[in-house]
Amino acid sequence: MNDADRPLTPKQRKFVEEYSLSGKAGAAAVEAGYAEKSAKVSASRMLRSRRVQEALAARGADARAKFNLTRDGLVKELLCAVDLARERGDPMAMVAAARELGRLCGFYPAT
């Protein structure tokens, strides 16, 4: 069995689960049982793994299907949030919503 056909290890599965929830690779590695001192290195290595990338993509697809999420739908909701924040005079909420819109539209690199 070549490496691409092997299932994820328990630590890798836990990393995928934790990273999917938080988006914080180092913290996800620690939660998955990797050493805290080398968590960022372990996380970086896992994020480059094709098997881990595929598991993350599948988890994201499952969530999008479960909640019927689309990029267009999210953009519309964020635009509503900007309008509401503007009505309430909340500039920080406007900035946060605008930042998320920018991410969805690809203006910021993935972190």
Q: Which residue is it, tokens 């599948």? A: 58
For the stretch 35-67, pLDDT in tens is 999 999 999 999 999 999 999 999 988 888 888
| Sequence-distant contacts of 75-82: CB under 8 A, at least 24 apart | 75/101, 75/104, 75/105, 78/104
* Residue 94 pLDDT > 60: yes
Query: Could you confirm whether domain 3-66 is CATH 1.10.10.1400?
Result: yes
For residue 28 the two structure tokens come to 């996800």
Question: How many helices (DSSP H) and strands (DSSP E) are in the chain?
Answer: 6, 0
Spatial CA neighbour of 30 closest among 58, 22, 54: 22
Per-residue pLDDT averaged across 62-86, rounded?
89
Instruction: Please give the pLDDT value at position 2.
Output: 54
Instruction: Please give the pLDDT value at position 25.
Output: 93
- So where are the chain's domains? 3-66, 71-104
* Residue 1 pLDDT > 60: no
